[in-house]
Structure 1
Amino acid sequence: MSIVSSDVGGTPGFELPLRLFLGFRVLIDDLHAELARQGHPDVRPMHGFVFQAIGPTGTTAAELGRTLGVSKQAAAKTVDGLERLGYVRRAADPSDARRKTVQLTERGVDCLVRSARIFDELRERWARTLGEERLDAMEEDLRKVTPREVFRLDVPGWFGGQ
């Protein structure tokens, strides 16, 4: 029995966000288990947001923090860890020698490429379980109730409350 009840009957409203988050968590956990098997055991869920925010041309720690919704210090700390792991490197900014940019290394790009392939495989697994039509319908329904912008990279800051 739940401590919180619903006056509308049926499934309580709070279950929807929990089920959506649980689906996200299952996909991310499965992704990271496979990434570990493929040579990337140290990558964490936040790192995917960081890699996307760095992008193909690189960024500064301050810009990275703004994009992720975290402080410059938090972004720099994350970059330090990823640099030690070989996923990013710092380089002089070609437009301003006083600034450093953060860029993905070959290892970082490899991790992103593998992640994309693994997500495709995970989607195929869900399609086998649910049926392709039901999965397509679920995705279409989610598009109707969520913003068009798929890549909200500020999720780390949103979860962290910063």
Structure 2
Amino acid sequence: MSRSTQQDRSTRKELDPDLGILAVQFAAGLQRELFRRAAEDGFDDARPRHGAVLAYLDADGTRPGELARLAGRNKQTMGAIIDELERLGYVRRTPDPADRRAKLVVPTERGLRFMAVTDGIVEAIERELGDALGQDRYREFRGALRAAVTALPEAGGDAEG
């Protein structure tokens, strides 16, 4: 590809971003805002990668394999994130009462506070988007986004690439 063709492509993609670029920009912007606000509430050690666990974690605990499935990550990646969150004091591993051979990832008090704070932040961001776009348009956007996500074939494996 010649240098001028590459510049033309980059200019074109900047002026009219494709779906992949728009999806990455939206997800990255949402994560930046979510974790910026969470840091203001005392969670400055939380990182976007931690959302793979904390976004799906039940208050009573969730098995690591289920977290990996929900987040679209492989078990090894999920294990590393859980290890990090354990060191930071957000979660702990405990035996699953339903199957003592299995483990549950359970939020600590800090983890529960983080989950409550970030749930509130996401609700606030959704209200702000509704105000910016108009409530009807935002509901349509959200419905279309959900439909687009479910229309894609399952990626499988690790979403981190």
Distance change (3 Å), C-alpha of 1:53 and 1:155: farther
Alignment partner of 1:2 is 2:8: yes
2:113 aligns to what?
A: 110
How far the C-alpha of 1:140 sits from its partner, in A, is: 0.5
Moved over 4 A (4+): 154-158
Q: Deviations over 1:111-160 (max 9, x none)?
A: 111112222333344455x35x2x5314414413632888xxx9995532
Q: Give the TM-score, by structure 2 length.
A: 0.73
Structure 1 SS opposite 2:8: coil
**Overall identity of the aligned pairs, in %:** 29
C-alpha distance in 2 between matches for 1:145 and 1:121: 19
C-alpha distance in 2 between matches for 1:158 and 1:71: 5
1:37 aligns to what?
A: 40
Distance change (3 Å), C-alpha of 1:67 and 1:144: closer
Among candidates 69, 76, 82, match of residue 85 of structure 2: 82
2:69 aligns to what?
A: 66
2:3 aligns to what?
A: none
How far the C-alpha of 1:99 sits from its partner, in A, is: 2.4
Gaps of 5+ in 1: none
Q: Deviations over 1:68-101 (max 9, x none)?
A: 3333222111111000111111112112223221
Larger proportion of helix = 2
Partner letter of residue 35 of structure 2?
A: H
Q: How many residues were matched structurally?
A: 150
2:54 aligns to what?
A: 51
Structure 2 SS opposite 1:54: coil
> Contact 1:60 / 1:102 at 8 angstroms: preserved in 2?
yes
C-alpha distance in 2 between matches for 1:16 and 1:142: 15
Gaps of 5+ in 2: 1-6
Partner letter of residue 59 of structure 2?
A: P
**Root-mean-square deviation (Å):** 3.1
Higher relative contact order (CA 8 A, sep 6+): 1
C-alpha distance in 2 between matches for 1:103 and 1:36: 22
Partner letter of residue 146 of structure 1?
A: R
C-alpha distance in 2 between matches for 1:155 and 1:87: 28
